[in-house]
């Protein structure tokens, strides 16, 4: 009886060890154009290295959920994953879920992109994709109305008013509370405000509230119906169906807007311009929206490090650029083949934002999910009242207090 048991154990162990000898890593990607590009390219990597890459693709918030549950329960077998620096890096770093990247060459990345990748003096993630806020507009409608592209908020409002009709919304931007926070940020910056200053919430300043009121007025008067439940995934189909004349959102959507299989608007009728200036100048956000990291719990760190070098390489960055994905590497933007192919509006707005932009589009804190919902309440109140709400100040004051107490709970209050 006993010897039989021993035999079974021996067989199981042999099978397991043979299995371990076949090199494998597990990679979690986002449903993002770059994630798709990687997924398609991974067979090349497998062929070249003999390492089997097990890929899973998830929608961005589900990716966070999956990573969080796996890491928090210490049962993870994830080796490499895509990560959103501004949304989750602080929390992931605090919980010790990132492996420091000690021998990665970061010389090809802009400094402000590395800011969000570094904690203490170590880098924990490789910046992949950057995005900045731009103004998408319909070239044909502007021509017909005899308008020039707005360069400031006053012109933006005048253009929206003129282009707005029963059939076409003059202007659109995200209205769905938490989702709107990132796109509102450039408005807040251009009015001279910000979300967090020196580790304290300050979005109830006069400047920030002026921006929130302007945003609410624009969306209430010229935005599509039901805007308070709309994020980019609801606005994009409207733009593609020709129902929106101007749209402020992240640069990353250009490729999809002009995709002839999805859009009814020919590419030549879609313009990209710099985000309009506000009373206090023009400093739109430019952020690292996606990065890639190695899991601290990974048991295949050498393989993971090799994979991440390949997945964030110059060659793949160039391929990303040619697929209209705005990559973080400096060299990707200097490549002549890329510059010849990519929309000049993207190049021009990237250059402007890289020079003048702010590397945050949301309050940079661990409890950012909840903070976005709290700021979202102020945004929705402003949209619902066309920017004229009498209680906006007191509402914003309450929410600032709530965000500050979140900062206190996580030990980040006054820390910067």
| Interacting residues with another protein (CB under 8 A) | 61, 64-65, 68, 72, 91, 94-96, 169, 175-177, 224-230, 234, 237-238, 241, 243, 366-367, 369-370, 373, 376-377, 380, 384, 406, 409-411
CB closer to another protein out of 93 and 109: 93
Largest CA distance in the chain: 92
CB of 333 to another protein, least distance (A): 34
Whose Cβ is closer to another protein: residue 226's or residue 414's?
226
Q: Closer to another protein at the Cβ: 15 or 72?
A: 72
Phi, psi of 172 (to 5 degrees): -145, 150
C-beta closer to another protein: residue 180 or 287 = 180
Task: Write down the least CB distance from residue 238 to another protein, Å.
Answer: 6
Tell me the two tokens of residue 347.
């190049």
From CA 94, how far away is CA 366, in angstroms rounded?
Answer: 9
Q: Which is nearer to another protein, 229 or 388 (CB)?
A: 229
Name which of 264, 203, 209, 259 is nearest 238 in CA terms.
264
3-state secondary structure of 229: helix
User: Please, which residue, 103 or 167, has the CB nearer to another protein?
Assistant: 167
Buried b (16+ CB within 10 A) or exposed e, 183-220: bbbbbbbbbbbbbbeeeebbbbbebbbbbbbbbbbbbb
Burial code (b: 16+ CB inside 10 Å, e: under 16) for 59-98 equals ebeebbebbeebbeeeebebbbbbbbbbbbbbbbbeeebb
Q: For residues 7 and 72, which CB has a smaller minimum distance to another protein in the complex?
A: 72
Min. distance of Cβ 195 from another protein in angstroms? 17
Question: Which residues face 338 on adjacent strands?
Answer: none
Minimum distance from CB of 60 to another protein (Å)? 12
CB of 382 to another protein, least distance (A): 12
DSSP per-residue string spanning 334-378: H-HHHHHHS-HHHHHHHHHHHHH-BS-SS--STTHHHHHHHHHHH
CB 257 within 8 A of CB 136: yes
Of residues 65 and 388, the one with the C-beta less far from another protein: 65
As measured in angstroms, the least distance from the Cβ of 370 to another protein is 4
Q: What are phi and psi of 126, to 5 degrees?
A: -100, 120
Task: Name, in order, each residue with C-beta under 8 angstroms of 415's C-beta and a sequence gap of 6 or more.
Answer: 199
For residue 214, the minimal CB distance to another protein (Å) is 20
Phi, psi of 375 (to 5 degrees): -65, -35
Query: How far is residue 35 from each of residues 47, 56, 381, measured CA to CA in Å?
Result: 19, 10, 36
CA dist., res. 275 & res. 277, Å (int): 7
Is the Cβ–Cβ distance between 256 and 101 less than 8 Å? no
C-alpha gyration radius of the chain: 23
Shortest distance in whole angstroms from residue 9 CB to another protein = 20
Between 286 and 374, CB nearer to another protein = 374
CA distances from 94 to 89, 124, 125, 372, 412 (A): 8, 12, 14, 20, 11
CB of 68 to another protein, least distance (A): 6
Query: Smallest gap, in angstroms, from Cβ of residue 378 to another protein?
Result: 10
Q: How far is the CB of 115 from another protein (least distance, A)?
A: 20
Nearest residue (CB) to another protein, 275 versus 360: 360
Which lies closer to another protein via its Cβ, residue 49 or residue 384? 384
| CB-based contact 346:254 (threshold 8 Å) | yes
């Amino acid at each position: 009886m006993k010897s039989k048991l021993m035999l079974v154990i021996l067989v199981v162990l042999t099978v397991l060890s043979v299995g371990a000898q076949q090199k494998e890593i597990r990679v979690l990607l986002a449903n993002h154009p770059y994630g798709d590009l990687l997924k398609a390219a991974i067979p090349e990597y497998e062929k070249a290295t003999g390492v089997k890459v097990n890929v899973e693709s998830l929608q961005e918030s589900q990716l966070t959920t999956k990573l969080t549950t796996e890491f928090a329960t210490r049962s993870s077998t994830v080796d490499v994953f895509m990560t959103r620096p501004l949304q989750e890096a602080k929390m992931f770093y605090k919980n010790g879920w990132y492996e420091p990247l000690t021998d990665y060459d970061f010389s090809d990345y802009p400094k402000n992109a590395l800011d969000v990748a570094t904690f203490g003096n170590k880098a924990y993630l490789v910046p992949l994709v950057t995005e900045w806020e731009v103004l998408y507009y319909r070239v044909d409608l502007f021509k017909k109305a005899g308008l020039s592209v707005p360069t400031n908020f006053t012109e933006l409002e005048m253009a929206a008013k003129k282009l707005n009709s029963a059939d076409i919304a003059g202007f659109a931007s995200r209205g769905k509370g938490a989702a709107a926070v990132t796109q509102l940020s450039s408005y807040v910056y251009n009015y001279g405000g910000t979300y967090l200053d020196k580790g304290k919430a300050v979005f109830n300043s006069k400047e920030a509230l002026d921006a929130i009121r302007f945003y609410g007025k624009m969306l209430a008067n010229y935005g599509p119906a039901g805007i308070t439940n709309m994020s980019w995934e609801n606005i994009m189909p409207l733009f593609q169906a020709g129902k929106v004349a101007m749209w402020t959102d992240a640069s990353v959507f250009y490729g999809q807007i002009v995709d002839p299989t999805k859009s009814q608007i020919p590419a030549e009728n879609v313009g990209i311009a710099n985000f309009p200036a506000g009373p206090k100048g023009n400093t739109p956000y430019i952020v690292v929206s996606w990065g890639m990291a190695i899991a601290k719990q990974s048991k295949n760190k050498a393989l993971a490090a090799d994979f991440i070098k390949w997945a964030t390489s110059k060659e793949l960055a160039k391929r990303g650029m040619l697929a209209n994905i705005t990559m973080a590497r400096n060299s990707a933007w200097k490549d002549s083949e890329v510059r010849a192919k990519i929309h000049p509006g993207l190049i021009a707005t990237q250059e402007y934002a890289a020079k003048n932009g702010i590397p945050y589009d949301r309050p940079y804190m661990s409890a950012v999910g909840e903070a976005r919902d709290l700021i979202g309440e102020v945004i929705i109140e402003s949209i619902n009242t066309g920017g004229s709400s009498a209680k906006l100040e007191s509402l914003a004051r309450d929410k600032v207090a709530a965000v500050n107490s979140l900062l206190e709970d996580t030990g980040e209050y006054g820390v910067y």
